[in-house]
Each structure stands twice: as structure tokens, then as C-alpha cells.
């Protein structure tokens, strides 16, 4: 009976012990039966650990599950204390408990948090490190924003942009704050800051408000225009210039776009649209409108000439194109180049023909000097010496004719010499140079000995004639002419 009583007492003792153990159960890392409160505490601790860097393992803190700090154990890794219900974590920059960290963030502004959490390493150009710094700054900003902190002051943000430091404009939500940033950057005359801020405002504000405020800030408008030009945002740039009332710039932008088209037909259509939409309707561009009209007229003349000559050259039936093959297309050439082309390949065409040189001269109002120089160069290259005489001969009084060159006979002789004109042709036009010094210099340069001898005799300079005669080859016609002049006693020499 006593043994049964003893067994009953022992069973009651062990049942009580097991119930007490269940009630006062310690934390077991490997136990899956974790209560809801314990799981919440674990998640809070995990988020706390992630908010600090894990680079510095110099010291550790112990945090109890009730949020109170415990004694420092000096351990280097995160560990759990089942008996005391506390947790160790590695310290990053400073020792903070859960409660103290929340309090400090609530009392700090975003600027204070950003400044206090700046990396202590010097700035670097390493892309990986820069990315890490930016991510760290964003995390610090998010924590400060979540804690109810205020914005970074406008002056500080603009200064960070100028200094090339990390910055964020997303915290500025109101229109006044955004344009306060822009006004501060304009006041400091920093183009990079102005461009960065104006692009941010353009992306985050209504176009109507943006356009209105941009009109009040011409400096910012100029920076935005330069940015769009550099990045070839031509459609937006055209709209922006029109909104700002800068019609002349918009017209020239459209003209540049038109002339950059390679296809002649598409370019002609684009130029015509540009003329009607921007130049003809704008009184301020009345001086440039005739120039654009001439450009269109020239292109309209060049297209049929090019098509016709290209077919003639490919057929191989035209001797001119066989003897002098075309080196380039006439399309998109200047008026003077087109004139030279037509003087070279179509010099005999009548005025009703598109390729007539005289018709090109009249339509594009080329000067006499431009026409004579260009036509003379073409005819001299073709060795058309009779054509040169015809070009330089004009009618005088009483039905007579005389030689006349608006560009000067000295330049005529230079062009003829470049085209290897015969000595007789050069001599003819050298004698027409009025200035004796120019005539003598060119005659010596081109080795027209008869012109040199005649010029020295007219100058009555025996010394120079005697010196020049010694250079001539004995027995030649020029040497005998020089000797005859030196022995002529009727000439009154100066020396």
C-alpha cells in the first residue's frame, strides 16, 4: 500500500514538473512552435539588423526581447541567448538600441540623417563604390523620410549639385520648392545645376505651368534649348522655341533640318513647307525669304539638268561626257558651281534652256565679276581661246569693239596661265595690263620675253634691259630683239 502511495506521489511530482517546464519554456532556436509574439519580435530585430552596416565588428551590444539593453558580451557575430531571452548584434557606426534609434531618427531632419550617414571613405571615381554610396544615401533618406523628417534646405541641395556630390530632388514636391531650387541655381550661375533642375521640373510639373514659369526665366530657357540641341530633341525644341516666341530661331532650325536631307525630292518638299510655314508668314524674316526662294529655285533647276546629263553620260553617245567625265553630281551645289558646270557642259544653250549660263546669271543675280571669272575658267579649261576672246570683247562707241575685263587683265592672265594657255594668247592679254609694274612682274613670271623687253623699253630702263638680255639664249628672236633695242640710238634712256 505504501509503495502504491509512493508511486502516486512521484507521478504527481513529475506531472507538475512537466507542466511547469512547458509554462516557463526557454527560447529554442530549433523549435518550430514559436508564438506569434516571438515571431513579431524576431522580424523587428531582423529589420533592425539590416539597417546597420555589417563592416565594423569591433564591438557588440546585447538587446533583450523587451527592448532594454543588456551587458556587452564582446562577441563578434549575431547569436541568441536562450536563457536570458536576449540577442547579440555586430555594431556598425555607433551603439544604438531599438528604442534609442527610433527616438534619434524622429528628432532628426532628413538633412541631418543624410549628413550623419555619409560614408567616411573619401570620394572616389570607382563606379562600384559610387553605386554603393548612392544606395546607402537612398536608404538613409528613406529611413529619415519614414521617421517624419523635413526636406534638405534648397541652398544645400544646389551646393551639392555644384560640388558634384550625391543629391536627390525627389523630396521637393511643391511648385514653390522646385522653382526655388531653379532660382537659386540661376543666382549662382552654374549651368550644370540649372540644367539638372530644369529637366527635373519639366518631368514633374504640368506643361502649362512649366511653360509659364520658363518664360519668366530666360536664362533657364537658354540652358534647356542648348541641352535639346546637344541631344537632338528637335521636335520638342521646335515647340519650345515657338512657345517662347523665338520664331526666327524656330525658322532657322526648321531650315537646317530641311537642308540636311540627302534626297533632293524630299529636301525640295521640306524647303517649300519651311518657306510657307515659317518664312513667308513671318515679317521679321522678310530679308531671308528671298534667299530661301532662290535656294528652292536653284534646286528645281538642278534636278532636271542632273537627270538629263546622267542619262546622256550613261548612254555614251555624247562626246563631251566621254572626253570630260563628270566628277560629281550637280545637286546641292552652289549657284556659282552650277554656273561653272553649265558653262563647261552647256555653254551653247539658249536662254530658254534650264542649263543656259546667262539664264542662271539673271535668275540668281550674279555679278559681272562672278560671271566673267566663272565662264573664263570654264572656257580656258576647254581650250576655247576664241570663246575667251568673245567673252572679253565688248562693243564700244560707234559700233566698234574693245577688250574689257571687269576682273582685271592681270587676273585674266593668271587664269589663262593656270590652264596652260599658248604664249600668243598670254602675250595678247599681258599687253593689255595698264600697270607697268604688274605687267613686268607677270611677264617675267610667265616667261613672255617680248612683253618684258617692250615694257623695259617703254620704261627707258637700259640697265634692267641689259641685265635681262644677258639671261636670254643667244641667237633667239628675243635675244636679237633685246640687242636691237639696246643699240637703238633714238631711245632716250634714263640710265
Which tens digits make up the pLDDT trace of 283-304? 888 888 999 999 999 999 999 9
Report the alpha-carbon distance of residue 493 to residue 458 in Å, rounded: 10
CA dihedral for 312, 316, 318, 324, sign (positive or negative): positive
Rounded Cα distance between 181 and 157, Å, is: 8
Measuring CA to CA, how many Å separate 141 from each of 101, 115, 311, 345, 453? 15, 10, 72, 75, 95
Q: Return the higher-pLDDT residue of 183 and 36.
A: 183
Separation CA 144–CA 291 (nearest Å): 63
Q: What angle do CA 107, 108, 110 make, to 5 degrees?
A: 145
| Residue with the larger pLDDT of the pair 72 and 152 | 152
Within 8 A by CB and 6+ apart from 253, the residues are 234, 237, 238, 241
233 has pLDDT over 60? yes
User: What average pLDDT does the chain have?
Assistant: 79
- Give, rounded to a whole angstrom, the gap between the first and last alpha carbons of the chain: 173
Instruction: Tell me what percent of the chain is helix, strand and coil, each rounded to the nearest 5.
Output: 65, 5, 35
Rounded alpha-carbon distances, angstroms, from residue 434 to 31, 431, 455: 119, 8, 11
pTM of the prediction? 0.63
Of 8-22, 249-263, 312-326, 459-473, the one with minimum mean pLDDT is 8-22
CA gap 151, 459 in Å, rounded = 93
Rg (CA), the chain: 48
| pLDDT for 73 beyond 70 | no
pLDDT of 7: 52
Burial class (CB in 10 A: 0-12, 13-18, 19+), 272: middle
Q: How many CB atoms lie within 10 A of CB 469?
A: 21
106 membership: H or E segment, kind and range: helix 98-107
- Supply the pLDDT for residue 132: 76
Identify the CA nearest to 413 among candidates 375, 380, 370: 380
**Which of the four pLDDT bands, split at 50, 70 and 90, describes residue 277?**
confident
Closest CA to 61 of 53, 76, 72: 72
Q: H-helix or E-strand containing 126?
A: none
pLDDT in tens, 320-378: 999 999 999 999 999 999 999 999 999 989 888 999 999 999 999 999 999 999 999 99
Q: Which of 222-236, 339-353, 391-405, 408-422 has the lowest mean pLDDT?
A: 391-405
Q: Between helices 175-188 and 154-163, what is the axis angle to 10°?
A: 50
Rounded average pLDDT over 267-288? 89
Residue length of the chain: 495
| C-alpha to C-alpha distance for 480 and 269, rounded to whole angstroms | 69
Do 60 and 76 touch, CB atoms closer than 8 A?
yes
The three cell numbers of residue 380 are 580656258
Instruction: Kindly give, in sequence order, each residue whose CB lies less than 8 Å from that of residue 60, ignoring residues fewer than 6 positions away.
Output: 72, 73, 74, 75, 76, 88, 89, 90, 91
* More confidently predicted of 42 and 133: 133
Question: Which of the listed ranges 23-37, 164-178, 180-194 does the model predict with the highest average pLDDT?
Answer: 180-194
pLDDT at 247 over 60: yes
Nearest-CA neighbor of 240 among 256, 258, 257, 228?
A: 228
Q: Per-residue b/e over 381-408, b at no fewer than 16 CB within 10 Å? A: bbeebebbeebbeeeeeeeeeeeebebe
Q: Are 361 and 395 in contact (CB under 8 A)?
A: no
pLDDT class of 141 with cuts at 50, 70, 90: low
Q: What nine digits make up the cell of 398?
A: 560707234
Amino acid at each position: 500500500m505504501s509503495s502504491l502511495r509512493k508511486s502516486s506521489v512521484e507521478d504527481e511530482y513529475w506531472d507538475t514538473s512537466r507542466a511547469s517546464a512547458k509554462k516557463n519554456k526557454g527560447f529554442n532556436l530549433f523549435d518550430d512552435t514559436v508564438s506569434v509574439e516571438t515571431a513579431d519580435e524576431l522580424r523587428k530585430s531582423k529589420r533592425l539588423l539590416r539597417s546597420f552596416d555589417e563592416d565594423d565588428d569591433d564591438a557588440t551590444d546585447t538587446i533583450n526581447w523587451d527592448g532594454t539593453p543588456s551587458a556587452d558580451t564582446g562577441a563578434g557575430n549575431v547569436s541568441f541567448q536562450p536563457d536570458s531571452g536576449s540577442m547579440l548584434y555586430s555594431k556598425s557606426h555607433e551603439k544604438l538600441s531599438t528604442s534609442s534609434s527610433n527616438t534619434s531618427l524622429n528628432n532628426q531632419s532628413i538633412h541631418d540623417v543624410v549628413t550623419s550617414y555619409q560614408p567616411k571613405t573619401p570620394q572616389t571615381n570607382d563606379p562600384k563604390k559610387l553605386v554603393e554610396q548612392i544606395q546607402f544615401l537612398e536608404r538613409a533618406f528613406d529611413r529619415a523620410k519614414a521617421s517624419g523628417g523635413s526636406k534638405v534646405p534648397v541652398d544645400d541641395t544646389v551646393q551639392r549639385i555644384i560640388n558634384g556630390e550625391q543629391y536627390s530632388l525627389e523630396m521637393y514636391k511643391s511648385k514653390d520648392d522646385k522653382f526655388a531650387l531653379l532660382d537659386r541655381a540661376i543666382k549662382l550661375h552654374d549651368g550644370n545645376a540649372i540644367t539638372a533642375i530644369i529637366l527635373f521640373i519639366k518631368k514633374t510639373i504640368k506643361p502649362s505651368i512649366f511653360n509659364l514659369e520658363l518664360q519668366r526665366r530666360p536664362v533657364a530657357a537658354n540652358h534647356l534649348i542648348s541641352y535639346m540641341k546637344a541631344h537632338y530633341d528637335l521636335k520638342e525644341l521646335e515647340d519650345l522655341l515657338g512657345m517662347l516666341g523665338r520664331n526666327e530661331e524656330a525658322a532657322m532650325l526648321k531650315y537646317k533640318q530641311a537642308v540636311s536631307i540627302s534626297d533632293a525630292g524630299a529636301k525640295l518638299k521640306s524647303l517649300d513647307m519651311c518657306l510657307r510655314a515659317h518664312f513667308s508668314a513671318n515679317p521679321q524674316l522678310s530679308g531671308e525669304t528671298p534667299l530661301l526662294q532662290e535656294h528652292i529655285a536653284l534646286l528645281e533647276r538642278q534636278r532636271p539638268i542632273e537627270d538629263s546629263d546622267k542619262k546622256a553620260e550613261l548612254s555614251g553617245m555624247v562626246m563631251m561626257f566621254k572626253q570630260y567625265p563628270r566628277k560629281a553630281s550637280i545637286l546641292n551645289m552652289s549657284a556659282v558651281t552650277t554656273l561653272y558646270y553649265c558653262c563647261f557642259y552647256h555653254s551653247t544653250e539658249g536662254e530658254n534652256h534650264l542649263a543656259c549660263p546667262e539664264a542662271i546669271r539673271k535668275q540668281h543675280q550674279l555679278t559681272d565679276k562672278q560671271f566673267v571669272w566663272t565662264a573664263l575658267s570654264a572656257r580656258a579649261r576647254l581650250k576655247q581661246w576664241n570663246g575667251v576672246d568673245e567673252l572679253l570683247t565688248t562693243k564700244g562707241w560707234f559700233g566698234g569693239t574693245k577688250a574689257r575685263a571687269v576682273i582685271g587683265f592681270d587676273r585674266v592672265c593668271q587664269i589663262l596661265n593656270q590652264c596652260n594657255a599658248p604664249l600668243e594668247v598670254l602675250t595678247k592679254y599681258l599687253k593689255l595690263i595698264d600697270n607697268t609694274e604688274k605687267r613686268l612682274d607677270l611677264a617675267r613670271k610667265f616667261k613672255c620675253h617680248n612683253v618684258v623687253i617692250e615694257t623695259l623699253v617703254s620704261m627707258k630702263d637700259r640697265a634692267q634691259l641689259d641685265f635681262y638680255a644677258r639671261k636670254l639664249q643667244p641667237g633667239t628672236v628675243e635675244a636679237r630683239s633685246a640687242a636691237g633695242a639696246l643699240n637703238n640710238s633714238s631711245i632716250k634712256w634714263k640710265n
